[in-house]
Structure 1
Amino acid sequence: MYLKIIQLSLLITGIFSKLAYASAGDHSPYYQRCVERCDLINCTEDGKEFKEDRQPLILKVTLWNCNHECKYECMWRTVEAFHDRNWRTPQFYGKWPFIRLFGMQEPASVIFSLLNAYVHIKMMRKFREKVRPNSPLVWLWNVFFIVSVHAWFWSAVFHYRDFLFTEILDYTCAFSLILMNCYLMSIRLLHEKVSKYILTGITIVFLLFLMSHVAYLSTGKIDYGYNMELNISVATFSALCWFAWCFYNRKRQKYVWKCAIYLALSGMTLLLELLDRPPYFYTFDYHSLWHLSTAPLIIFVYSFAIDDCKYLRQKKIDADAKKMP
């Protein structure tokens, strides 16, 4: 069920990304005429500067130029015109209309992305308090923490202002988090069974794979279909391996239920990504609510990490004791 939800979610995301320039709102003649008239009256020829600059400082800092302002104002006029005719709220460039707040295009998604980063920071502090720094695989969870916070930060930036640059960073960092989960799973399952040289080789392979994907996306032409399929493949493989490992160790390592419940609940929260309706109060859409729902699940991840590192430490102590004469 979890894997099917991932597939459906990424499929829908890919479809909507491809249709980002085929929305009813921005294709309506009313909207197009409104933007054209606004640009002509208020903007310079390149559409970037205002003929009379009265723009608040926060909007200048967040790079809202004259053409962007015209599109924002005309978006709401078009929404009102649609509602006057009892038509559904339209999308614009593949997105629902959101009320702008301090220059943020999607304020709820920004706040909830930062909330996820905050929970990671909070739980990592708890992890470092409870786990000795020389315990096995502590370094791995520290890397996981860095990658996660980095990904959620750029998610917030992308939802704050949607440019090609921020979109690429959001996509690459989101993939880095999925790939990090796969890497974490690989190292956890293999670190006691293979040599350090093999683990180093695995690390190099993952890094090269990530670098090649980042380089591919950085060309400026995002292949949404390829990116979707790659994310599905990596996420599916990781989930299968984690579930199998949890099932195999369910009696010997009682705490693995935390990992399993995290995977199951993550799958359930992804149902929110399958819903595509206008945002409540033009602020809270289902994508932002998905970000909100993932924040408390991070607690399960670090609780599992704490127990697992303690288990590995005790296992190492017992093994060293047996070696002593």
Structure 2
Amino acid sequence: MNFVILTVIFVLIVREAQSSIGDHSPYYQKCVEKCGLQNCTEDGLHFIEDQRPIYLSSLQWSCEDECRYECMWSTVAAFHHRNWRTPQFYGKWPFIRFFGIQEPASAFFSLLNFYAHVKMIKRFRKEVPSDSPLYWLWHYFCFISLNAWLWSTIFHTRDFPITELMDYVCAFSVVLMSCYCMIIRLCRNAPKFILVTITTFFVAFLANHVAYLGMGRFDYGYNMQLNVFIGTFTAICWFGWSTYNRIRQPYVWKCAVFVALGGLVMLLEIMDRPPFFWTFDCHSLWHLSTAPLICLFYSFVIDDCKYLHKLEQQTETKKLS
């Protein structure tokens, strides 16, 4: 478990410290300046002679953006000609666009995760009785996760300040919701006023976090530290609970494996390398690997709700007898 925690922390630190050698290089800056003077209007938004495909203009690729994209590849070629390593630009690896999509693999795999949630919540509704304990809790979890993966798709399709903010905020909402679901599961027999207090606290905490990130400059360090703390706390609690209940509830191995594999696949983030075929980077492969883990977690949730439903029925039968 310590390995999982250290992996998550190291991943986030590495991503926070990424440099942007490519966009700081004189070659790139001169290329962008020359391209802008030759092809763009004074505001840099429009081409003097615009003959782009409609899908580029629909995704709001301005003339300045096009210059940056073309000069990015010229700079990459210049670096490789000198046997230098592939540079990053504005904290990102160079990617080949696909119909105007900036990071096509990450965008597609984000949709794959979205689909995994849709598929598994349908299975959940089919197999779990609607009067089962925590039935609606997992529907709320699914809704928040779907929203997060939708914004992840949008962000990887087109990187704007607003799409970046929504991607980070919605990703945090999933981390917080996972923690909330874990606490509610462990404290489900607590008095109602305690459960209401817990819910109020989490809602207020999320609102405060969103308000803070949306005011002024985005605080990456604070957001990173908060995600690490809450994610680590949730993982430890789920793993400990699964270990404690492994005899009485044999299906909890799925939760334990989910936590362990979730930490293991984070190695893909550590092995940050230039994208294969300028399309598949380690971050996109991480998105790919999380899709089957979603199915595993829902499988655990389905079994757990069935167990709680059976337990509740047995308790009611004893009361009647």
Which TM class, normalised by the smaller chain length?
Answer: over 0.9
Q: Superposed, which structure 2 residues align to 1:119-268 within 5 Å?
A: 119-192=116-189, 194-268=190-264
Query: What TM-score results when the alignment is normalised by the length of structure 1?
Result: 0.97
Instruction: Give the structure 2 partner of residue 313 of structure 1.
Output: 309
- Measured in 1, the distance between the counterparts of 2:69 and 2:152 equals 22
Give the TM-score, by structure 2 length. Answer: 0.98
Distance 2:52 2:295 in 1: 42
Q: Give CA-to-partner distance per residue, 1:192-223, whole Å, 9 cap, x none.
A: 1x111210110010000001111111124111
Report if aligned partners of 1:114, 1:152 keep a CA contact under 8 Å in 2: yes
Residue 278 of structure 2 corresponds to residue 276 of structure 1 = no
1:292 paired residue among 288, 295, 298: 288
Mark the runs of 5 or more structure 2 residues left unpaired by the alignment: none
- Which residue does the alignment assign to 1:7? 9
Q: Which residue of 1 aligns with 2:81?
A: 84
Taking only the aligned residue pairs, the percentage that are identical comes to 58
One-letter amino acid matched to 1:197: F
1:103-118 alignment, distance < 5 Å: 103-118=100-115
Q: How far 1:13 sits from its partner (Å)? A: 2.1
Say if 1:177 and 1:61 are closer, same or farther in 2 by CA, change over 3 A. Answer: same
Deviations 1:254-273 (A, max 9, x none): 00000000001111100001
Question: Which AA in structure 2 matches 1:144?
Answer: F
2 CA distance for matches of 1:99 and 1:4?
33
| Structure 2 CA distance for aligned equivalents of residues 9 and 177 of structure 1 | 18
* Structure 1 contact 164–220 (Cα < 8 Å) conserved: no
Counting matched residue pairs gives 319
Report the AA paired with residue 312 of structure 1.
L
The separation in 1 between residues aligned to 2:216 and 2:162, in whole angstroms, is 8
Any idea what the Cα deviations from partners look like across 1:152-188, whole Å, max 9, x if unmatched?
Answer: 1111111111111001000000100100110000000
**Alpha carbon RMSD of aligned pairs, Å?**
0.9
- Matches of 1:300 and 1:315 in 2, distance apart? 23
Please tell me the residue identity of whatever aligns with 1:106: E
1:123 touches 1:302 (CA, 8 Å); kept in 2?
A: yes
Q: Is the 8 A contact 1:116 1:295 kept in 2?
A: yes
Cα distance in structure 1, aligned partners of 2:131 and 2:216: 43
Q: Structure 1: any 5+ residue segments left out of the alignment?
A: none
Structure 1 moving runs of 4+ over 6 Å: none
SS at match of 1:50: coil
Distance 1:308 1:240 in 2: 19
- Shift of the alpha carbon at 1:9? 1.3
Question: What is the one-letter code of the residue matched to 1:267?
Answer: G
* Distance in 1, Cα, partners of 2:293 & 2:218: 30
Comparing 217-226 with 177-186, greater Cα deviation is found at 217-226
One-letter amino acid matched to 1:114: L
